[in-house]
Amino acid sequence: MSPNTTRPDPGKRLFETLFLNHRPEIIIRAISKGLIAFFRNATRLIEDAKILIIAERFASSRFLITTADEEIAKSYILLDACRLDLQSRTSPLQSLCHSFYDHIAKYAYNQIPNRMPSLHDMADVKQIWDAETTKWWPSAHHEDGEPDMPHDTYFIREMPLYVDFNDYGEDWYDPEKEAASRYRIVDKHSYPATEEALGRLQRTFEAGLYAPESLAILNDNFKKLYISDKTSAKEIQRLYGKTAQQMESERGIEKKTFFQSALHEWPLYHFTTLRKY
């Protein structure tokens, strides 16, 4: 029998090993450990990026910052899983596992938490999600000389790493030589933004909200309602109100702390099932 040379799908493997045929309490315990690991690894990446910025290796630092952002996004993806019935919602859990390894989905998971105060309902959230997961933006007017634009992940992941032929400029693009001015400006503003996002995760962890007992409370309150773009903001906030009250009464975590934590976000799992990225 010839060996199977097809690479296993990482999202499928994650679903099978983390979620399939496991009791909810086992899954939540594993997610709790993962959340702490993502936070610590993102912190390490930002510390390394700062060293590269001091050395004016801006293209390389840009890639590390982007990777730290993706580790932060993984936190929000697994927190989304905690809002689902972990035994019956197979399809969205599989989609979340796919998103865990997808750069575009992780980019969207990082962008939407930054905009939560300005989004009023799930229809608003869907509009932003659709924009942030659009792979290709064709030029509206070719005569103006503006090129078609790829997704932002191309600029923050690929351009800092690879030499490529620039068909628009008709010349070779060298990341360190030609993009230093771009990343010199970007990195000095980007890593503080990532540090701010990390600070939120750290406060969430220190408050005890990454503990399995806290994640179980989140799961208990949200798992009975599947949240889509049709779900009202009032209903979502009602569930968060119940969760905050239970966190305070059972875990001693103040409501204000909960509402400022990474657990209080727009649920995005439904949009991953409609993926076009």
List the beta bridge partners of residue 171.
166
| The pLDDT of residue 246 | 98
- Closest C-alpha to 274, from 142, 108, 119, 160: 108
Cα dihedral 242→85→258→76 (10° resolution): -150
pLDDT, tens digit, for every residue of 206-227? 999 999 999 999 999 999 999 9
Q: What is the mean pLDDT of the chain?
A: 86
| The pLDDT of residue 222 | 98
Total structural domains within the chain: 1
Look up the domain containing 57 and give its range: 10-135+180-272
pLDDT, tens digit, for every residue of 4-13? 667 789 999 9
Question: What are residue 164's phi and psi, to 5 degrees?
Answer: -145, 160
277 pLDDT above the threshold of 60? yes
Q: What confidence tier does 55 reach under pLDDT thresholds 50, 70, 90?
A: confident
| The pLDDT of residue 120 | 87
pTM greater than 0.95: no
pLDDT, tens digit, for every residue of 245-255? 999 999 999 99
User: Does some domain include residue 213?
Assistant: yes
| The pLDDT of residue 133 | 85
In sequence order, what are the residues at sequence separation of 6 or more whose Cβ sits closer than 8 angstroms to the Cβ of residue 198?
39, 42, 43, 46, 68, 72
User: Does some domain include residue 163?
Assistant: no
User: Does some domain include residue 207?
Assistant: yes
| The pLDDT of residue 108 | 92
- Collapsing DSSP to helix, strand or coil, 99 comes out as helix
User: Does some domain include residue 156?
Assistant: no
| The pLDDT of residue 112 | 87
pLDDT, tens digit, for every residue of 3-52? 666 778 999 999 999 999 999 999 999 999 999 999 999 999 999 998 98
Mean pLDDT across 256-271? 96
User: Does some domain include residue 150?
Assistant: no
pLDDT, tens digit, for every residue of 174-207? 776 655 555 555 555 557 788 999 999 999 999 9
User: Does some domain include residue 226?
Assistant: yes
pLDDT, tens digit, for every residue of 56-76? 888 888 889 999 999 999 999
User: Does some domain include residue 175?
Assistant: no
User: Does some domain include residue 264?
Assistant: yes
